[in-house]
Homo-oligomer: A and B are copies of this chain.
């Protein structure tokens, strides 16, 4: 096998065939890819399907807790899961810079396969483009996903079910992913213990939906952090939030990192965290289900939905005051996902 990606690997000719067979098919192998059609034909188990897409341009490609490949699977699986869907099938589109190493490509592909297996999804179609050296930064991956939605859960996605008094949960510490990425990129602290939380949490969401009746809304916390997501939901619903700062889990390393460098953990991206909004009557049950799951061990009830200040997120601070939590205004750091 050649050791570097060349322009010819994106040509559609014999080199492309070789790349497909010796890297992608070798690891992703399944009946849909073996069919080598222009599209994969999959069975739709439900009347309603969820459809989503995300491109991943993270730098660095490999970081504590994950890599581009793992992230590209988790991110899209989570986007499906939080709309109430059972994630089913993914596609993978690779844009590769000429000269990128086969070894790194294969490591990324293996990681995608391992995470797809964890999440219970299949990568059924793909595409590879190669651009000239200097025209992309190593490798970018798009994954799109299809999932299947029970009728019962088909109204979860839009936020229309959220009501005044509902309880807001978070499945663990915030800021881990972005802190780990910044630290890996800049090399600030060598043994800071900063590890991305990158994970497919669809299993936890499934338990919540199967074992409770009043989950109103879920959303994963990525770019914009917890504050960004709360603001988006407040805008969507014309309701507000009252959040208790001291209930929001933040890891010690992330706290120390943010204090040292002036970051706000509530504005920092996660890759394995979501908010869950549920009716108060079931709040004990929701919390227990989350805490019993691997990806919800540090789950917490962080606040409530309120109609008192529509569109606003009020933070009850650790110091005992109240202040408006600002949405993130600008990117301090590009390419965290």
- Chain A interface residues toward B at CB < 8 A: 7-8, 10-17, 35-44, 46-57, 78-80, 82-83, 85, 89, 91-95, 98, 124-127, 129-132, 134-137, 140, 142, 144-147, 149, 154, 157-158, 219-220, 222-225, 228, 232, 236, 269, 327-331, 334-335, 337
Contacts and interface: CB of A to CB of B under 8 A. Distances in A.
A158 B35 contact: yes
A134 to B, nearest CB: 7
A92 B50 CA distance: 15
A41 B142 contact: no
A149 B331 CA distance: 43
B12 A269 contact: yes
A328 B16 CA distance: 10
A127 B91 CA distance: 15
A181 B125 CA distance: 27
Copy tally for this chain in the complex stands at 2
Among A52, A126, A137, A147, max chain B CB count under 10 A is at: A52
A290 B166 CA distance: 59
A223 B130 CA distance: 12
Among A7, A38, A79, max chain B CB count under 10 A is at: A38
Contacts of A50: 39-42
A52 B83 contact: no
Nearest to A35: B158
B41 A157 contact: yes
B55 A331 contact: no
Given A48-B42, A334-B132, A126 B53 contact: yes
A236 B20 CA distance: 14
B41 A129 contact: no
A156 to B, nearest CB: 8
Given A131-B335, A330-B8, A334-B131, A39 B13 contact: no
